[in-house]
Each structure stands twice: as structure tokens, then as C-alpha cells.
Structure 1
Amino acid sequence: MLDINHILVVLDSSHPEQIALDRALWLASSLNADLTLLTATYEAYCEDNSSLDAETRQRVKGALISKGEQWLNSFVPEGGDVRISTEVHWQKHLHDAVMESMRQKDFDLVIKGTRPHGILDRIFTHTDWNLMRHCPAPVMLVKSAAAWKHNRVLAAIDATSSDKGHQLINDNILSFAEHLADHFETDLHLANSYPLVSVAFAMVPEVTAPDDIQKYITEQHDEACAAWARKFSIQDDHIHIGEGDADTVIASISKEIEADVVVMGTVGREGIAGVLIGNTAEALVDKLSCDIIVLKPSDGVLPDAD
């Protein structure tokens, strides 16, 4: 079951608009969940090694936290039907504030607004990348404050992978997407990509591609997608299979069907490999115009009660 009772909403004071808030309020109202609004504040001169005396440091720190609380409270609607609390964390990095909060409470979903990222964001471990890789709960990155209007949830999977980790992620993605679609009475679509083998063989001209290899790969993906679709009762005309890199294919399918949200997984590569190779989820964030929900292998969906 889609058991989302506690939602953490990450608000970034450096963003001109808090586009995640409307989405979070709508979801909380529909799911009868409570919201916690979170932000972080920090100044190095309030640390122990500062030249300021201890009393002044504490007074400045208290004033900054109070200012953060006032800022968060300005987003709490009066007379609303959603239970809302606020948290201001003394942390230099916003993702560290999220992880601190997650250690103290159990949240079922983390929601944050996002905007285009540059390569420097990835090299210096931007907040979004850290949340997608390390947050111990599903993460929704909101691209627009506009309401969902096309009634389409797109689940993006690696259908042919025989690796147990990828199969677990596939199952988690489709389970989450299915429950999301059922709750909001939306259409569930499945997306999958497969490589263009001719391009790979063109890079090693000394190796000849076997006859009908592309046909074999295409059929393999067709059969695998059909099996996943049967398991989650996805209609045949809601299965979308494209040729090419996963992030490009999924972004194209999402645009074509006008998806409201894409649900997908990440394996969270670390260090330089993560920067240079990247993850499909991370590459997709800037290519999608709709929301994205990122799951990890541990982000399962609770079974329905008997």
C-alpha cells in the first residue's frame, strides 16, 4: 500500500520560489499526511573557533535560527486542514539538515523543488544529488508549482536486467507507481530503453555484429516489458520502449505522453565515477519538465493488508 503518512518538505532560502510547497500541501491533503517544513541556517563566525565571544556567538546563532523559523512559518497557511510543523537546523549544507532530521524521525517521502544544475553542482555534491543518493526515503523533486493535469504516471525501469539489485529496484518502482496511480486514479505507463547495437559495434570496427542482433535485443526487451506489465496490470498501449540512452529515451517518452511524474530508481554512484558516468536519475532531472520520484533498493512499498 502507498503508506505515506509523514512528508518532509525541504525549503531552500536561496530559491526565489518554493515550488515544492504547493505539491506537498496537495499530496498531504489527499493522503491525510502531515508535513514538516525544513530549512537550514549557518554562519561560520558562530562556531567555537570564531573571534567572537561565546555569548555573542550564541545570541547571533539564536537570532539566525529564529529568523529561519519565522521564514518557515510564513509558508504555513492559516486554517488549513494539513498538520504542519517546522524545523530549522544549524547545518552548513541543506542535505545534512535533511539527514539529521531523518535520523530523528521516520519520513515516508521527502519533497524538494529543483532547478537546472551545472557541472559544478555535481562536482561539489549539490543538495539534489546527495538526497537522491543518500536519503533513506523516496525523494520527489518538483519541477513546477503547476498541478498535475494529465493523469499519467510513468514508471521507468531496466526491464531486462538479471541483476537482483536492479530487479528489486524495478519492483519497487512499479509498486510505488502502481499505488500512486491507483490512489489518484491516474493512468500507469511503463518506459524502458535498449541500446542501439550498431553504434556500439561501430566503435570497434574489427568486430562484426552478429546477424539479427538488433532484432534479438528488441524482442528481448519487448518480452521483458510485457512480463513486468502483466505483473502490474499495465495496458499494452501504455508500454513504451525506445532505442538509445535511458535518460534521453525516458525524457522523450515523458514529453510524448505528457506524464505528470516519472518514478525511477538510482544506484547512487559515488565520487568521480558519479560525476563522469552519472546515474540515469541524475541525468534525467534537468531533461524532464515534470516531477520525478527517485527510489533506492531499500525504498519498498508495504504489502496490502489482508
Structure 2
Amino acid sequence: MTQLTRILAVLDADRQQQKALERALQLARISHAHVTFMVSIYDFSYEMTTMLAADERNSMRDSLINDRRIWIEDVLEGHNMRDIQYDIVVRWHNRPFESIIETAISGEYDLIIKATHEREGLAALLFTPTDWHLLRKAPCYVLLVKESHWPEHGQILAGIHTTGEHEHHRSLNHRVTEAAFLLARYMNTTPHLVNAFPGAPVTIAAEIPEFDTTNYRGSIAESHQQALQEHAQHYQIPSSQLHVLEGLPEQVIPRLAEDLNAGMVVLGTIGRTGFSAALLGNTAEHVLDAINCDVLAVKPEGFVSPIKV
């Protein structure tokens, strides 16, 4: 994708500050994209109204939907909407993530924007079940927003997996890099690429005393550096914006993001679901737990959401 044309901004009915709305307006003004401001609602007391006639139940539901639409309109009145093309959608659904993904698919949106929150007393983000479902199942870009304002001199950091042997790994690397460039252009900032490589297992030195861990690390680092440079050549990214660091991605990426004062980290997510996700998790999801800035999740080419419209 070379530009944003349609943005789906998910508003937070339980918060006064609408971080997703603010980021959506910021991007829409730069990209001239159309924005849909969405809320998914459901009142479980509705389940207790089965004794009412069908038209009475429908009237109750429609009243709640209309109240939420009025609330969105009131929220928008507090923002500068000049030159913004937008509409409002209120969906009645008992599973918010399904409602969001169904809307994104049917409306052919390029990007979903949703706010995240901080854990009490901690700097790390708190990702809700809805966030995780969107990261795993949404077919388009998903931007989880932390700060309402872009940090001064904020950079964009893209995590690249250079050791993938399959074409879908290389394809995802390109999609991640292209997304980083697109957002960097909109935000008038610089994209950086990072690749993490594993160090020598501690047990090797203990079991094989003659094993040269220094040469091993140097050889692995050189291999990853070469692979990242080859990838970066397609985008004419200078070496000053390439980072090859020893360690696990969930350690390396958050630390580098903080050093660069990154406003956003771009990660590829493979969309693992079900038991394998609970047991193994995605590398991206381990990284997400430790990141303290906006996160843009990118799916592989041809990813099909398990959510059906």
C-alpha cells in the first residue's frame, strides 16, 4: 500500500481522552484519508427482555444505538473537523473485536486505529482481549495508540526478521518496511530497521570449553548485518538507520525504541490463533508487552481473517 485512503478509528466510550480519534485526525489531515469513527456497543440486559415484543426489543436497541451516535457527534464537536471527510458507525454486537473486524472488511479499510492504556503504576501498555484479537485476526494494518501527541523528534522503528528461509518471511519484511516508510512520510520522521540475533547458548561454553563464543557471536552478527543491508538496499536506507543487536527481540526492540525516542514500532504479526497462540505466542506479541509507544501491526500478504462478514 502506497497511501492511506480509509481509516477506521475505534472510539473508547469509557474514556474522556480519545487517543484513537486524535491520531486518526492527525493522519487524515496528512493523507486526506476518509475516517469512520466507530463504537461497538451491547447491553447484556437486552438478553433479559425476551418477554417483550420484538418491536419493543428493537426499539430499545435502536434507542441505545442512537444515544451512542449522539455521543460521538458531541465528542467530534470538541475537535477541529475542518477538511476531514468522515462518517459515524455504531454497531450492536456482543463481541467488539468481531464487530470491528467485520466493519473493517466490509468497508475495505486500510487501517484500524484503537487506543491502548497503561497498567497502573507501570509504563508498559495494557493490551485488552480486544487488542489481541485485532492483532491476530484483523486483515488490515492495526495501529494501537498510546500517546495522543507524537513525541518530539520521534522516530519509527521497524522490526525485521532476516533469518526467515521462506518467501512469506521475506514478503512480510518488505510489507513491514513499506509500512514504516509510509508512516514516516506522513509523520515527517525517519524510519529505522532493527534485527535481533541470538547469542551463543550458555551451555555450549560449559560443555565445550574450547568453543570460541567470541568468533561465534562475530560470525552470527556479520551474517545478520549482511542480510539486513541487502534488505535495506531496496529502500536506499543508510547504514546509520540499521541496527543489528544481540539478544531476544522482546529485549532488543523495546530498548532501542526507547534509545531512539521512537513514536512508533512496526512489527509483522503472523496471526497465530487458538491453542498454538496460547502456548507459544507470536514473537511480536512478546515484544508488544514491553513496548511503551504506538505499535503498528502488519499482516503477511494474502492474510485472510478468520472472522467472516
Q: Which amino acid aligns with 1:290?
A: C
CA contact 1:46–1:52 (8 Å) conserved in 2: no
Question: CA–CA distance in 2 between the matches of 1:13 and 1:79?
Answer: 20
Q: Which position in structure 2 is the counterpart of 1:115?
A: 117
Following superposition of structure 1 onto structure 2, how do residues 195-214 of structure 1 map, counting pairs within 5 Å? 195-199=198-202, 201=204, 211=212, 212-214=215-217
CA contact 1:10–1:110 (8 Å) conserved in 2: yes
Following superposition of structure 1 onto structure 2, how do residues 163-174 of structure 1 map, counting pairs within 5 Å? 163-174=166-177
1:85 alignment partner, one of 81, 84, 87: 87
1:68 aligns to 2:68 (yes or no): yes
Q: Which position in structure 1 is the counterpart of 2:271?
A: 268
Q: Deviations 1:38-82 (Å, cap 9, x if unpaired)?
A: 111112343598233323311211111111111221222365221
Q: Which amino acid aligns with 1:110?
A: I
Q: Which position in structure 2 is the counterpart of 1:303?
A: none
Quick one: structure 1 residues 53 and 231, their matched pair in 2 at CA, closer, same or farther if it must change by over 3 Å?
Answer: same
Identical aligned residues as a percent = 32
Quick one: structure 1 residues 56 and 151, their matched pair in 2 at CA, closer, same or farther if it must change by over 3 Å?
Answer: same
Q: Which amino acid aligns with 2:184?
A: A
1:285 alignment partner, one of 283, 288, 291: 288
Q: Which position in structure 1 is the counterpart of 2:11?
A: 11
Question: CA–CA distance in 2 between the matches of 1:208 and 1:97?
Answer: 58
Quick one: structure 1 residues 227 and 209, their matched pair in 2 at CA, closer, same or farther if it must change by over 3 Å?
Answer: farther
Q: Which position in structure 2 is the counterpart of 1:98?
A: 100
1:294 aligns to 2:297 (yes or no): yes
Quick one: structure 1 residues 103 and 155, their matched pair in 2 at CA, closer, same or farther if it must change by over 3 Å?
Answer: closer
Q: Deviations 1:200-235 (Å, cap 9, x if unpaired)?
A: 647xx6678954332221111111111122221111
Q: Which amino acid aligns with 1:92?
A: N
Question: CA–CA distance in 2 between the matches of 1:106 and 1:117?
Answer: 33
CA contact 1:138–1:299 (8 Å) conserved in 2: no
Following superposition of structure 1 onto structure 2, how do residues 233-252 of structure 1 map, counting pairs within 5 Å? 233-252=236-255
Deviation at 1:276, TM superposition (A): 3.4
Scaled by the length of structure 1, the TM-score of the pair is 0.87
Quick one: structure 1 residues 116 and 166, their matched pair in 2 at CA, closer, same or farther if it must change by over 3 Å?
Answer: farther
Runs of 5+ consecutive residues of structure 1 not aligned to the other structure: 301-306
CA RMSD of aligned residues (A): 2.5
Question: How many aligned residue pairs are there?
Answer: 294
Q: Which position in structure 2 is the counterpart of 1:193?
A: 196
Q: Deviations 1:80-105 (Å, cap 9, x if unpaired)?
A: 22112110101112111112212321
CA contact 1:192–1:241 (8 Å) conserved in 2: yes
Q: Which position in structure 1 is the counterpart of 2:307?
A: none
CA contact 1:18–1:113 (8 Å) conserved in 2: yes
Q: Deviations 1:111-140 (Å, cap 9, x if unpaired)?
A: 01012479xx98xx8111111111111011
Q: Which amino acid aligns with 2:114?
A: K
Deviation at 1:181, TM superposition (A): 2.3
1:136 aligns to 2:139 (yes or no): yes
Question: CA–CA distance in 1 between the matches of 2:178 and 2:245?
Answer: 22
Deviation at 1:142, TM superposition (A): 0.4
CA contact 1:44–1:50 (8 Å) conserved in 2: no
Q: Secondary structure at the match of 1:2?
A: coil
Runs of 5+ consecutive residues of structure 2 not aligned to the other structure: 121-125, 304-309
Scaled by the length of structure 2, the TM-score of the pair is 0.86
Q: Which amino acid aligns with 1:159?
A: T
